[in-house]
């Protein structure tokens, strides 16, 4: 069983850039312990047979450009330029 104490929780919060208040720490620690106990129970479950991992298959298709009237869509945008959406610059 994984044993998580207050210091480890605070370190995890720091690494995760989370600000935890003192009253939240105890509540969160109890909730995490319940979750860890449950995962320990799941580790004890015996499976009747091994299941092969499912492999994701990427199905490629031909990329076909279809002419579309973009005017109705562009009319809903707050700002447009020619046939494009205009958005604020976020990168230098």
Mean pLDDT by 10 residues, the chain (92 residues): 85 93 92 90 81 82 89 93 91 83
How far apart CA 88 and CA 90 sit, in angstroms, is 6
Show Cβ contacts of residue 76 under 8 Å, excluding neighbours closer than 6 positions.
Answer: none
Q: What percent of the chain is helix, strand and coil (3-state, nearest 5)?
A: 40, 5, 55
How many CB atoms lie under 10 A from the CB of residue 52?
A: 5
Q: Are 31 and 25 in contact (CB under 8 A)?
A: no
**In the chain, where are the structural domains located?**
6-43
pLDDT of residue 49: 79
Could you tell me the pTM of the whole model?
0.47
């Amino acid at each position: 069983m994984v044993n998580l104490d207050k210091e480890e929780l605070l370190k995890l919060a720091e690494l995760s850039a989370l600000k935890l208040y003192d009253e939240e720490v105890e509540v969160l620690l109890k909730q995490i312990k319940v979750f860890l106990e449950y995962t320990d129970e799941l580790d004890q479950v015996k499976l009747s047979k091994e299941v092969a991992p499912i492999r994701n298959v990427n199905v490629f298709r031909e990329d076909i450009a279809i002419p579309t009237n973009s005017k109705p869509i562009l009319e809903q945008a707050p700002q447009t330029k020619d046939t494009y959406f205009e958005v604020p610059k976020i990168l230098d």
